[in-house]
């Protein structure tokens, strides 16, 4: 497969973000960062979606438990 080449123009803010990402992913070039992000995108996206689902599930469980606690406390206070 032939290597593809392209030019990417980015803003100063985007350049600063790429600089931070260079340190995070442990590469020295913008090209390295972009290649790393492309190669890891699918796995990171799957992990993100799984974490988001788990977060929604945990929030629902938390709300259910909070309701049970409040119901118990109301009943307990009514016994006084």
Integer CA distances (angstroms), 26 to 23, 33, 45, 75, in order: 5, 8, 20, 57
| 61 SS3 class | helix
Determine the Cα–Cα distance for residues 40 and 36; give it in Å rounded to an integer: 6
Q: Say if residues 35 and 24 touch (Cβ distance below 8 Å).
A: no
Task: List, for residues 27-72, the tens digit of each pLDDT value.
Answer: 999 999 999 999 999 999 999 999 999 999 999 999 999 999 999 9
Say which DSSP state 26 is in. Answer: T
Q: Where are the domains of the chain?
A: 13-79
What's the pTM value of the predicted model, to 2 decimals? 0.59
């Amino acid at each position: 497969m032939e290597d593809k080449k392209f030019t990417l123009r980015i803003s100063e803010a985007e350049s600063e973000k790429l600089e931070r990402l260079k340190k995070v992913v442990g590469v020295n070039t913008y090209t390295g960062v972009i290649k790393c992000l492309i190669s890891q995108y699918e796995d990171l996206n799957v992990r993100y979606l799984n974490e988001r689902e788990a977060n929604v599930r945990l929030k629902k469980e938390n709300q259910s438990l909070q309701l049970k606690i409040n119901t118990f406390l109301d009943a307990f206070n009514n016994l006084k």
